Amino acid sequence: MRPGVEPTRPGLISFASTTRTSINYTFVNLTGQDTGGTDAQPIPLVYHVYISKNQGADYELLTTSGNNAEKTAEYLTPGLVHYFKYQAENDLGLRSEFSTAYTMMPGQTPSAPASAPQLVTQASDHITVLVPEPSDTGGPTIGRYEVEIEQMSGVTVVATLYLAQSTDVADIRTFIFNTTKGLIAGREYHIRARAHHYITDYFSLVSPWGASATFYSSNFPEAINATDYNTTFTYSALIKTDVTIHWALLSSDAAKGYSTTPPVYTLQVDLCGRETSSATGNTTFITLLQTTTATSFTLSD
């Protein structure tokens, strides 16, 4: 008979990698007095690793090993949280308490979102996009999406912003980029997304970035006769067969709808009932001019 006590409670189980149906793990060995012996005379140990596939309610023996070399738990259910714990047993047949239970979910890296973000709503103060789901989640349900936003000035990226939502958001695929998050009216933005799923609190698998889409923080331009911006729509030189139409170009950024390009002004005239649409019976409008710079047009004949 040799003296000794039960080993101390062992420590950490860590996870090295995972696939859709397997988890690679390792654990911490006990040494010296922690084996139940002494520093000079440690007692040889084996380790019993247990797994639960039922939220930690029921455990079954996974493996017994004399070392902590990396091991693989196989034939697991994708997307299901598995609980792991282990205990040490020394040559005296004395067992330690179980370690803390650690959780891990089998899965692999999801694919990139299936296509570029899709526009939901857009204005000068916000851009709302929907992220398409990946074609392959990697096993688990996607835990959150991340959106990267590049603010452009011509062909130059002047700022890069990130938006992220987690599982406590009702719709994790919808993102609102607004002025409180850095949006500036009138700018061009390149937006792309990627998917995450969290296998544990510290182990995350992240998809590649998906395709990028271009959006603008702009509104429709104001009507040309909008008195709020002091514009005019008048005429002069009116005779029996001619008239000159005048208007003022929209001047403020807000009136232009924060467009990145000059508004195009379209001048139309109706034929006062002399021609109608055969489909609707409505007056037919004829386009006289489309321009970005002119402020008048003379209608003759």
Helices and strands, number each (H, E), in the chain: 0, 20
d(CA 47, CA 5): 16
Hey, what CATH topology would domain 13-104 get? Answer: Immunoglobulin-like (2.60.40)
pLDDT at 251: 84
What pLDDT, on a 0 to 100 scale, did the predictor assign at position 273? 61
- Looking at residue 15, its amino acid is F
Residue 32 main-chain phi, psi, to 5 deg: 55, -135
- Phi first, then psi, for residue 34 (nearest 5°) are -65, -15
- Please report the sign of the dihedral spanned by the C-alpha atoms of residue 221, residue 225, residue 227, residue 231: positive
**Res. 139: pLDDT tops 90:** no
pLDDT tens-digit map of 10-24: 999 999 989 999 999
Predicted confidence at residue 13, as pLDDT, reads 94
What one-character DSSP code corresponds to residue 79?
A: T
The bridge status of strand 126-130 relative to strand 265-270 is: unpaired
The whole-angstrom separation of Cα 76 and Cα 60 is 13
pLDDT band at 252 (very low <50, low <70, confident <90, very high): confident
Rounded mean pLDDT, 84-110: 94
Q: Flag the least confident range among 124-128, 211-215, 276-280, 293-297.
A: 276-280
Reported pTM:
0.71
pLDDT tens for each residue of 151-207: 998 889 999 999 987 655 668 899 999 999 999 998 999 999 999 987 776 678 899
Closest CA relative to residue 116, chosen from 50, 44, 51, 194: 194
Q: How far apart are the first and last CA of the chain?
A: 123
Mean pLDDT score, 125-143: 92
CATH class of 118-216: mainly beta
Q: What is the pLDDT of residue 276?
A: 55
The whole-number pLDDT of residue 166 equals: 63
* Structure-token pair, residue 31: 């040494």
Q: Do domains 13-104 and 118-216 have the same CATH topology?
A: yes
So where are the chain's domains? Answer: 13-104, 118-216, 227-299
State yes or no: pLDDT of 210 exceeds 80. yes
| Predicted pLDDT of residue 106 | 92
Residue 69 has what pLDDT?
93
Strand bridging mode 156-165 / 144-153: antiparallel
* pLDDT over 70, % of the chain: 91
Nearest Cα to 35, choosing from 99, 86, 89, 93?
A: 89
Task: Please give the average per-residue pLDDT across 1-8, as a whole number.
Answer: 81
> What is the per-residue pLDDT for 46?
96
Residue from 77, 74, 56, 20 nearest 197 by CA? 20
On the question of pLDDT at 229 being above 80, the answer is no
Q: pLDDT category, 255, cuts 50, 70, 90?
A: confident
| pLDDT tens-place string over residues 269-293 | 887 666 555 555 566 788 889 988 9
Burial class (CB in 10 A: 0-12, 13-18, 19+), 34: buried
Give the E-state strand segments of the chain in sequence order.
13-18, 23-27, 45-52, 60-65, 71-73, 82-90, 102-104, 118-122, 126-130, 144-153, 156-165, 174-178, 188-198, 204-206, 213-216, 233-236, 243-247, 265-270, 285-291, 296-299
pLDDT confidence of residue 191: 97
Q: What angle do CA 275, 280, 284 make, to 5 degrees?
A: 30
Per-residue model confidence (pLDDT) at position 198: 75
Determine contact, residues 229/222, Cβ cutoff 8 Å.
yes
* 3-class DSSP assignment, residue 59: coil
Task: Give the pair of three-digit tokens for residue 86.
Answer: 């282990």
